[in-house]
Structure 1
Amino acid sequence: MLASTKNRSIIVIEDIDCTIELQNRDDGSHNYNDSDSQVTLSGLLSFIDGLWSCCGDERIFVFTANFKERLDPALIRPGRMDMHIHMSYCTPSGFKILASNYLGIKNHWKLGQIEELITEVNATPAEIAEELTKSDHGDIALDGLIKFNKKKEDSKEKIVVENEADKKGDKMN
């Protein structure tokens, strides 16, 4: 499949850290006996900058990963992977941009409350955008976003309480 890509292609490989054969060889997590895998680290590296790289040009590779530390250093070294972009949780400034882009809202009395909630919960920009697109009416979309963030905050507090109860139980045993 990789060899059939044309010049001026963008190749996206999602969740590369979850591909067994491409995990970091140094940490012992690899499994070279996975018979279902058709792509090996060696094969991918050869395609990126080895044998296949001379067969065309203007290819852009985009790799996504949840855990960069699981990737083999050979894959992420400078010159092979030139740019690393960390996609964090949504920030108040990111939220303002999303509210402006999706709802055309730059000033609204609910923005402050939402910005405060966003600093307290871990919500991705995609989650925020999804909530903002549920209604074309700004007030309704913002109310939905407030409910969404409060629900995330409540579930976060519940997890903290459960963890504290587990720790107390461990100390008693």
Structure 2
Amino acid sequence: MIAAMANLLNYDIYDLELTAVRNNTELRMLLTETTSKSIIVIEDIDCSLDLSGQRIKKEEKYPYTDMIMNVLAKNYLEVEAHPTFDLIQQLIEEINITPADVAEKLMPKMAAKDADVCLSNLIRALDEVKDDQKRKEVAKA
């Protein structure tokens, strides 16, 4: 498709591999060396790569975990305090789970379910995630 466009318009085609570019100066030099009638093709951009081609390790810790339970319980269950909040908070801090995953587990599946049932389901789900993560760590070792 690109070749057909370049052929029709009489343009040159340049295939740019960003992982081979070491810095902005080198990229600028490559771009200025192209002709004014050019199609520059950049494929497979990976945002997790830095200019040297090394993968960036993202920190998976989610901020504000101390407030997650209170906000989500108030939004989804209309509960501001509950005896299980401390246990749930402790489990959230121990495992690697996103606030979206917590919210999904916290949402009542039926209108008839009360806060106690939803919170106990959340505790059970968090325990399962914790056990799965422990099993994966043991399997890696």
TM-score band, normalised by shorter chain: 0.5 to 0.7
Alpha-carbon shift at residue 107 of structure 1 (Å): 0.8
Deviations 1:53-80 (A, max 9, x none): xxxxxxxxxxxxxx843378xxxxxxxx
Q: 1:147 to 1:88 in 2, by over 3 A?
A: same
The residue that corresponds to 1:3 in the other structure is none
**Which of 66, 70, 79 lines up with 2:49 in the alignment?**
70
Partner AA of 1:140 in structure 2: V
Deviations 1:79-121 (A, max 9, x none): xxxxxxx996471312221111111111100000000000011
The residue that corresponds to 1:159 in the other structure is 136
Unaligned runs of 5+ in 1: 1-23, 29-39, 43-66, 73-85, 165-173
Give me the whole-angstrom Cα distance separating, in 2, the residues matched to 1:131 and 1:99.
Answer: 11
Give me the whole-angstrom Cα distance separating, in 2, the residues matched to 1:140 and 1:68.
Answer: 41
TM-score by length of 1: 0.46
Q: 1:99 to 1:161 in 2, by over 3 A?
A: same
Please tell me whether the aligned partners of residues 61 and 96 of structure 2 are also in contact (alpha carbons under 8 angstroms).
no
Give me the whole-angstrom Cα distance separating, in 2, the residues matched to 1:141 and 1:95.
Answer: 13
- Runs of 4+ in structure 1 deviating by more than 2 angstroms, as ranges, are 67-72, 86-90
Indicate the RMSD between aligned Cα atoms, in angstroms. 3.0
Partner AA of 1:70 in structure 2: L
Please tell me whether the aligned partners of residues 18 and 42 of structure 2 are also in contact (alpha carbons under 8 angstroms).
no
TM-score by length of 2: 0.55
Alpha-carbon shift at residue 134 of structure 1 (Å): 2.8
Sequence identity percentage: 27
**Which of 55, 73, 83 lines up with 1:109 in the alignment?**
83
Unaligned runs of 5+ in 2: 1-16, 22-40, 52-58
Give me the whole-angstrom Cα distance separating, in 2, the residues matched to 1:88 and 1:145.
Answer: 20
